[in-house]
A and B are shown apart, each in its own frame.
Chain A
């Protein structure tokens, strides 16, 4: 049954700040700390921006300028699909000779999914294939930019006041020259790029990053306060009696995707530039090593650093479940796969009665007490005909089959709860991990010293499904 292989069936426990249970395929393994990490216990950093449809890379400064949108690609305002440019031939008079007409190419945007075209909103066909399409301007754009400028100045002035106060306590020197120095100091202590934390007393701290350069003369920017109007435009008279024509009304989602205009009618839905996506790199919070670093090129899906848990930790998967009955012992077949190239020894243990991690299990489990030996993953094994199969003495009661780096083994499960929920089983898995990344310290006797094996224990939870009726 394919549903047995679903990743959500087997969860590994991550002991971070929060206890998170996640399938092994979604976890990372810090081999310096020798611990599992989930997405919530790592810090995310933006690596690069790229457009998902034209795969164009964009440096972060440019992305900020363009408000994280691609310059060439558009989104359909109706169904959010990517718009494609189509061409038609229209007869147009030649510039030299007005009487003759020649076929000129006219381009329009069309959506392949919902068949929206740029002609639906009245946008004229352009004669250039790309670059001719303009987004409509925000009517409040000027006022907003003026407000931003004013507040930037205000933040800058406040920061200078703070510097001056600090300097007045220390020494009496030229405030301007030293404020350049203290800006760096403040940024180092207060507004670190990686560990950016908002201090409670600095609400406009985020704007100081956009401040004007030091030496520039600052023009005084004044803003007029917003004026409240007494009279509001009255509603149209047929507001309550006019029947609503549903195809003409925009849905909330379509409306809110354009927060500048929020058009109520479908004839005012203009296409917007496509949002950029970003590649992110993950960093362990404890040891500050990178766990995942993607390639810079948007067309490449590979990673420069990829410390995912599936390549270090043996993976448990459910192979077959018999009919589970309340208070009756049944045998479940599980598989263990060894991801590394050397032999791994795995010991399973039942969770203690007062184990704080053992929250979800609803059944008693009996795991094999003997140590399971997993062969290393050998990529060339299928091509090597002369290789002798390694002889592991397997107890047929425990080990069902063995296939290169995978074994199938039995556990005995006794469901303890008669309710309708899934039968869940948890146990602890202890295996040896050789840190190949750490440098080998030369031993005193000389010769190659093998990597020290570290024994790691993981808490594994399995969801076996409902009781048989």
Chain B
């Protein structure tokens, strides 16, 4: 546990290290990314164990959702780093004689990443990969609700990465508050909208830019696709049995609820008698083992908490509507979600979904998988957050794109200096319109000018 003074001193050391410029070098960035790759490979077993302990996650699921995707991301970053770091030339009009313009990405400095407990490795390391690739020094605060993962991250990172540039600080809300009081060049937060507001408000003090990856009620719109809804529910029940067996609690393929507090929250969602009556499958809760079985509800009351708050648990309400197109209005009457899923072959409905709703992303005929697509930005809009990452977007999110223009002394547009007169005005007008012929005519004295008001 760090004291306030220790923390401030450590952060100042990190800023000093950054100022020396080591983290800007491509070789350093590559070494850190390679370090992460080695970490993921060598600590795979320990990571699986920690996830099993904190979340009851099966190791193949852990691989699919966390280790596997992280490995892919590091490899992409290593391959693309040179390209990402290169400056981009900006186009200039012809009148900008002997001028060159480019955009140069530079690191922001010392950044803070606050991650969540549901994908404790993924949501910690995905942003970190971007931050390191962009040349920053990083402090990571993992969620205290997944303690085995947090302490593994702390140990592993101090072993595999540059200690002077990357630190993990563990703790709960009070540690979070202390960290938020410090000066950062960027804060990357994954979590709830409630805490998101606290993070952004704290960032105001130092005018720190933030990325907020929040949540929301992500809907899946299911078109008829040749079967009625009750047939679909039957199909769902069968597939659940296929995936998790007759007794899901015994299956090792399904994760637990993170802690008692969340379990009780979910249990309460089902308490309302109308909600309870709408359960068509599952519903049993085992408090001691932090287990809730996959539960399907059909048409629970819309004002119930289960339909107003983000569920974040194994309860799936199904809402039925007259026409599938009504789903657009249904979605639009609620805060913008992080993702919208839509299962349909109907191209018109697809177009409607895209152009008439707003969300972080839209995925057709699948779920979740957009998380693994490096070329698509991952982030929210409205209540689901702002800012984005994944792939090159991670690099950009932790960079400042500096605009640079270089001029020569040889040519000068002398008519942009006072003392002012009408001749200069005419030349300027032609220049701004990129009217090269007009420019020549003015110089030759062949262009008549417009009457302008006083002040010249």
Partners in one complex: no
Name A residues whose Cβ lies closer than 8 Å to a Cβ of B: none
